[in-house]
Amino acid sequence: MKQLIQKLTETFSPSGYETTICEVIRKEIQLQADEIHLDALGNLIARKGSKSKGGLKIMLAGHMDEIGLMATHIDENGFIRFTGLGGIRAAALTGGRVRFMDGTPGVISSDRLTDLAKTPTLDQCFIDVGASNRKDCPVKVGDVCAFDRPFLDLGNRMIAKSMDDRIGCVVMIEALHTLKTSPHEIYFVFTTQEEVGLRGATTSAFGVDPDIALSVDVTSTGDTPKGSRMEVALGKGPAIKVKDGGMLADPRIVNWMIRTAEKAKIPYQREVLEGGTTDARAIQTARAGVPAGCISIPTRYVHNPSEMVDTRDVENSIKLLVALLSAPL
């Protein structure tokens, strides 16, 4: 599993440029899926099984894209100004390294700050790719990059640049590999452009038209010094979402997930996230409405160049998803 996590997290595919990660995931699932296709927005949709008595059409959504940066201006000295693709936190950028889609590496720095007590704003930051002037800068306006960080295995803890949401994709891939039988018709949907507005989930949910849905995504934790006041912590199991900044999970789905976790003796946490949301928000309001919930993998330092998860949480997320899919509701 860790090799798969490293492969997915070290792949560069910011929002709107998911072709590379899509091909990596396709190769991982092509032998287990009954049918695979891409829709118009590039969502990778894999169907497994068909409905039997008491079965439902279930959609699972994990987004393939990662946050990134897009060049907006190159000055006369070859320095690159940029905007964010997704939720970029300027405080986490200075000194960070990036890699453009053509392989060009760069480092992020900022204008000189007159007040060192303040962090730079996004418009004060720039990327240096080693160019001496605008003409020899290999980057053009509109080119995109992502954070450049290697995967780190710390035993029970793992760190990578794009756990959000490649770790959710890993959970879905491993569940697809592990699942033996199911009464349900299951659509494993690896979505695009989640970080810029849940766009892939919006179109794929309309196309799949599921009976119920689960997103598989990360959530923040409250277990760091003076961190957010929330109950989720690394190592205490997958989080079952009750609410986030964009949706209320369907209580029937929440109760189903809790019953399943308790029956299978899988540790779990209840999640209330005050900001942020997932693909479930878009799926919930597709067509005439879809009862939706979310399995959340606890993650420290979300939307930073180094995001941390616990190996045991990932393994238990896979177990929970397989248990949910293996039996009638």
- Based on the residue annotation, tell me whether 307 is a catalytic residue of this protein: no
Quick one: pLDDT at residue 228?
85
Catalytic residue, candidates 194, 195, 271, 307 = 194
Set out the domains of the chain in order of their start, with CATH numbers.
2-66+161-326 (3.40.630.10), 68-147 (2.40.30.40)
pLDDT > 90? residue 209? yes
Quick one: pLDDT at residue 232?
97
Quick one: pLDDT at residue 67?
97
Q: Omega into 165 within 30° of 0, i.e. cis?
A: yes
Confidence band for 53, pLDDT divided at 50, 70 and 90: confident
Closest CA to 11 of 116, 147, 214: 147
Quick one: pLDDT at residue 264?
97
Confidence band for 142, pLDDT divided at 50, 70 and 90: very high
CB-based burial, 20-53: b 16+ in 10 Å, e otherwise: ebbebbeebbeebbeeeeebebbbbbbbbbeeee
pLDDT > 90? residue 157? yes
- To the question of pTM greater than 0.75 for the whole model, the response is yes
Quick one: pLDDT at residue 230?
92
Confidence band for 54, pLDDT divided at 50, 70 and 90: confident
Closest CA to 189 of 290, 113, 104, 70: 290
Model confidence pLDDT, tens digit, residues 235-284: 999 999 999 999 999 999 999 999 999 999 999 999 999 999 999 999 99
**What is the average pLDDT across 88-99?**
92
Q: Which amino acid is at 157?
A: R
Quick one: pLDDT at residue 91?
86
In sequence order, the β-bridge partners of residue 307 are 160
**What is the average pLDDT across 81-96?**
92
DSSP characters over 36-92: EEE-TT--EEEEE----TT--EEEEEEE--B-EEEEEEE-TTS-EEEEEES---GGG
In sequence order, the β-bridge partners of residue 14 are 66
Quick one: pLDDT at residue 13?
96
Model confidence pLDDT, tens digit, residues 271-319: 999 999 999 999 999 999 999 999 999 999 999 999 999 999 999 999 9
Quick one: pLDDT at residue 119?
86
Q: How far is CA 256 from CA 166, 175, 237, 328, in A?
A: 25, 18, 17, 10
The number of beta carbons lying within 10 Å of the beta carbon of residue 196 is 18
pLDDT > 90? residue 118? no
Q: Which amino acid is at 218?
A: V
Cα torsion 236, 240, 243, 244 to 10°: value is 70
217 or 117: which leads in pLDDT: 217
In degrees and rounded to multiples of 5, residue 202 shows phi and psi of: -60, -45
